[in-house]
């Protein structure tokens, strides 16, 4: 364990009665516990050597601190708070390890698919739509708003304009108009689905087309 949470208030309240040497010894013992992730050894000389406790005063401080804050067990000096922190650390590390392995496996699979020339999930279309994209709903399709006067007024105006356009085409070149009936009505049908303000542009485009075909004398 490379680090641990040091709760300053808890430590200060628990050790306020200790001497400066004893407080320092206690912090060293905690560091060893977290570093080894196991109870402290029962071998007192080896433990003192590990935390550089050499003088008689320091060795005595080690013994007093162990007896006050740790519990002696057959496997070593046990500390309840340290074990709680270690359990939380191991759980977090295990979860991160599992997530990391899954992420690494996914990256490896994606790389292999790229090497094999297989499209990824984003690139693979499904009815023309990437698989990671939600289908477009009716609420997402923009519907042109009717002009002032409501839908009925717009429809009457559009019908009048279209009828005038048709009459004008017949007057200029009846043969050309009748020869292009199918295409003309297809275009007009499309125009009626557009916003009214765009209808004039469509009509002008049709006039230019008919004018060009009149010059060619061959409108299909």
Read off the pLDDT of residues 1-58 as tens digits, 9 standing for 90 and up.
777 788 899 999 999 999 999 999 999 999 999 999 999 999 999 999 999 999 999 9
State phi, psi for 146 to the nearest 5 degrees.
Answer: -70, 150
> In whole numbers, what is the pLDDT of the chain averaged over residues?
74
Report which of 51, 64, 76 is spatially closest to residue 15, judged by C-alpha positions: 64
Residue 131 lies in a domain: no
Q: Using a pLDDT cut of 70, give the percent of the chain over it.
A: 53
pLDDT in tens, 50-104: 999 999 999 999 999 999 999 999 999 999 999 999 988 888 766 666 666 777 7
pLDDT band at 105 (very low <50, low <70, confident <90, very high): confident
- Which of 63-72, 152-161, 190-199: highest mean pLDDT? 63-72
Q: Does residue 98 lie in a domain region? A: no
Give the structural domain span for 55. 8-84
- The answer to the question of residue 43 being in a domain is yes
Task: Using the 3D structure, point to which of 84, 104, 119 is the last residue of a domain.
Answer: 84
pLDDT tier for residue 170 given thresholds of 50, 70 and 90 = low
How many domains are contained in the chain? 2
Read off the DSSP letter of residue 135: P
CB 69, CB 79: distance < 8 Å: yes
Residue 132 lies in a domain: no
Structural contact between residues 67 and 53, judged by C-beta atoms closer than 8 angstroms: no
The span from the CA of 8 to the CA of 111, in Å, is 47
Q: What pLDDT is stored for residue 216 in this prediction? A: 58
Contacts 24+ apart (CB under 8 A), 165-169: 165/203, 165/206, 165/207, 168/207, 169/206, 169/207, 169/210
Distance in angstroms (rounded) separating the CA atoms of residues 35 and 160:
89
In a domain, 177, yes or no: yes
* DSSP category for residue 197: G
> Contact, 90 vs 98, CB < 8 A?
no
Q: Given 84, 104, 127, which residue is the final one in a domain?
A: 84
Confidence at residue 192, expressed as pLDDT on a 0 to 100 scale = 60
Task: Choose one of 33, 60, 84: the last residue of a domain.
Answer: 84
In the structure encoding, which two tokens stand for residue 10, read together?
A: 């808890």
Domain-located, residue 94: no
Confidence label for 219 from pLDDT (cuts 50, 70 and 90): very low
Residue 169 lies in a domain: yes
SS3 state at 125: strand
- Predicted local distance difference test score (pLDDT) of residue 165: 63
Q: Where are the alpha helices (DSSP H) in 73-149?
A: 80-115
| 182 domain-assigned | yes
């Amino acid at each position: 364990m490379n680090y641990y949470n040091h709760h300053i208030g808890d430590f200060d309240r628990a050790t306020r009665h200790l001497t400066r040497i004893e407080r320092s010894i206690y912090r060293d013992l905690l560091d060893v516990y977290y570093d080894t992730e196991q109870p402290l050894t029962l071998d007192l000389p080896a433990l003192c050597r590990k935390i550089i406790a050499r003088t008689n005063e320091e060795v005595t401080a080690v013994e007093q601190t162990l007896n006050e804050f740790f519990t002696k067990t057959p496997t070593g000096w046990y500390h309840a708070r340290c074990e709680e922190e270690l359990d939380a650390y191991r759980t977090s590390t295990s979860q991160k390890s599992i997530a990391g392995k899954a992420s690494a496996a996914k990256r490896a699979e994606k790389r292999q698919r790229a090497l094999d020339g297989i499209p990824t999930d984003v690139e693979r279309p499904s009815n023309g739509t990437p698989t990671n994209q939600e289908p477009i709903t009716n609420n997402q399709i923009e519907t042109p708003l009717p002009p002032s006067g409501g839908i009925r007024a717009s429809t009457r105006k559009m019908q009048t304009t279209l009828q005038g356009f048709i009459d004008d085409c017949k007057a200029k070149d009846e043969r050309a108009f009748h020869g292009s009936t199918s295409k003309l009505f297809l275009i007009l049908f499309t125009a009626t689905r557009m916003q009214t303000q765009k209808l004039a542009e469509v009509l002008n485009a049709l006039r230019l087309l008919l004018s060009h075909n009149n010059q060619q004398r061959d409108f299909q």
